[in-house]
């Protein structure tokens, strides 16, 4: 079992002890450099927050408020991490308070106007300060609620369960709202992809399957998750709906063995709709054994498209079934980890786990 101590900090942030020291002295130089989320309270703060200092082991660090929101945290009411440092816009306050009072409610442009706030102004402020629209912000809050933030092995699990949405039924309900699912909609022809949440030591994953096999497995806080869900739905001409399936139960059991260091391969059917090129790349990825890595160049050569290294990188990133299609085993030619949709720290943790896991003797 991996420990969360060594893997919970993304590579792009300052060292954890440096960040913690900055928090203790409320160092304004670090404002905007990182945000701290407190696992016991579910709140994300600036390093300069006047609130009582959390214990180091209860902090999860983020490079942006946005990432913290997608991971299920809510903005602190005291240090207001959503506002640019030093310039709290009074006019926006009622809007933010309205979101926080009921994060599941959808605030429409008409609602904003009724509150005397011009929707275009709200949109501009969010785009300028956070690179997302107000509607995307609301979606992020709902998605965060839906996905929860429980980690197996954390001693905060009990606190997290008090959150309400940590229950599976709460997750399903929230997922349905987040993804605007219209049950029984006539345009859907194939059986729906049933989607559930699977807890892992690296954070919650969202998994989807139909009778044909596993169609989706993503780390829950992944920014692109929403798009991935829509892509699967579109490609299979079906919808994603919260539910359970035999394949999902087997997946959960096999993932538990994998994270326990007792499994190196998965025997589950996969549903991988994509272009011929993507399918070639994904097939090649599945040939990389646990404990091994390969470069993008090597994959490009193996599929007979030696010049298509960048396209291989894109197809790798478009993989919708993490771990089972082991896109984390592809690294740069120089040995650097390069990117990973679920975050570089997860890629590193998966590779370390696989390096430690004993492979069965070849027969
Ligand atoms: Zn705060």
Query: Model confidence over 244-260: pLDDT tens digits?
Result: 789 999 999 999 999 98
Provide the token pair at 206.
């969202």
Q: Tell which residue, 170, 232, 182, has the closest CA to residue 207.
A: 232
Ordered domains of the chain (ranges, CATH) = 16-147 (3.40.10.10), 157-259 (no CATH), 276-356 (1.10.10.10)
What does the pLDDT read at residue 285? 96
Cα(77)–Cα(336) distance, integer angstroms: 40
In the reported structure, the alpha carbon of residue 24 is separated from the centroid of ligand 1 by a whole-number distance in angstroms of 13
What does the pLDDT read at residue 154? 29
In the reported structure, the alpha carbon of residue 124 is separated from the centroid of ligand 1 by a whole-number distance in angstroms of 24
Confidence (pTM): 0.55
Q: Which residues of the chain have pLDDT under 70?
A: 1-12, 83-89, 128-132, 140-191, 221-226, 242, 361-363
Give the β-pairing of 59-62 and 35-38: antiparallel
Q: Tell which residue, 290, 339, 337, has the closest CA to residue 313.
A: 339
Question: What contacts 162, CB < 8 A, 6 or more positions away?
Answer: none
Q: Which residues neighbour ligand 1 (ion) by CB within 5 Å?
A: 45, 49, 51, 76, 78-79
In the reported structure, the alpha carbon of residue 162 is separated from the centroid of ligand 1 by a whole-number distance in angstroms of 21
Tell me which residues are annotated as active site.
327
Q: What is the pLDDT of residues 287-304, one digit of tens each?
A: 999 999 999 999 999 999
């Amino acid at each position: 079992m991996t420990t969360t101590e060594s893997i919970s900090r993304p590579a792009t942030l300052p060292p954890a002890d440096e960040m913690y020291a900055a928090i203790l002295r409320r160092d304004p130089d670090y404002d905007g450099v990182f945000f701290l989320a407190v696992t016991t309270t579910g709140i994300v703060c600036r390093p300069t927050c006047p609130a009582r200092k959390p214990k180091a082991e209860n902090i999860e660090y983020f490079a942006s408020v946005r990432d913290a929101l997608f991971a299920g945290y809510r903005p602190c009411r005291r240090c207001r991490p959503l506002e640019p440092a030093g310039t709290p816009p009074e006019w926006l306050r009622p809007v933010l308070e309205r979101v926080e009072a009921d994060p599941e409610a959808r605030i429409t442009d008409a609602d904003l106007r009724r509150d005397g706030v011009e929707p275009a102004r709200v949109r501009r402020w969010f785009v300028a300060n956070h690179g997302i629209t107000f509607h995307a912000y609301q979606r992020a809050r709902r998605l965060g609620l839906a996905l929860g933030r429980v980690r197996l092995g954390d001693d905060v699990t009990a606190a997290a369960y008090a959150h309400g949405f940590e229950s599976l039924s709460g997750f399903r309900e929230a997922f349905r709202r987040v993804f605007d699912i219209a049950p029984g909609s006539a345009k859907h022809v194939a059986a729906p992809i049933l989607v559930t949440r699977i807890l892992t030591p690296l954070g919650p994953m969202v998994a989807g399957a139909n009778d044909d096999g596993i169609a989706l497995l993503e780390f829950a806080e992944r920014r692109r998750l929403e798009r991935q869900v829509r892509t699967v739905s579109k490609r299979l001409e079906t919808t994603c709906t919260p539910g359970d399936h035999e394949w999902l139960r087997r997946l959960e059991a096999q993932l538990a063995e994998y994270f326990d260091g007792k499994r190196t391969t998965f025997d589950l059917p996969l549903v991988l709709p994509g272009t011929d090129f993507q399918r070639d790349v994904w097939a090649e990825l599945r040939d990389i054994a646990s404990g091994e890595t390969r470069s993008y160049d090597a994959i490009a050569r193996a599929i007979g498209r030696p010049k298509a290294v960048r396209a291989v990188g894109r197809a790798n990133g478009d993989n919708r079934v993490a771990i089972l299609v082991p896109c984390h085993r592809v690294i740069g030619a120089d040995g650097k980890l390069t990117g990973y949709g679920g975050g570089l720290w997860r890629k590193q943790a998966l590779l370390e786990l696989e390096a430690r896991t004993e492979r069965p003797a070849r027969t």
